[in-house]
Amino acid sequence: MTSALADRTLTAVDRCDRCGAQAYVRVVLEASGGELMFCAHHARAVETTLRPKASHWHDETSRLSEKAALPED
């Protein structure tokens, strides 16, 4: 079962548990229900190990390729 927090959008406050960079992936572990957060780099590094153990894999790495809206004058 996933928590309500598992589906919320990640923000700049959410940090990678490995390096402290902005998190773009949240993993909810099936056995404990605990959550881990990773930057895109570390999510890729642990994906083959953690995905089979995850009940939820929330991935927002596509946001890294979005262009930010420029303010209009």
Question: Tell me: the pLDDT tens digits for 15-29?
Answer: 999 999 999 999 999
2 vs 32: CA distance, rounded Å: 11
Closest listed residue to residue 24, CA positions, set 56, 55, 63, 65: 63
DSSP characters over 10-31: P-TT-B-TTT-SBP-EEEEETT
Give the model's confidence band at 2: pLDDT under 50 very low, under 70 low, under 90 confident, else very high. Answer: very low
d(CA 49, CA 2): 19
Query: Is the full-model pTM beyond 0.95?
Result: no
Domain spans of the chain?
A: 7-63
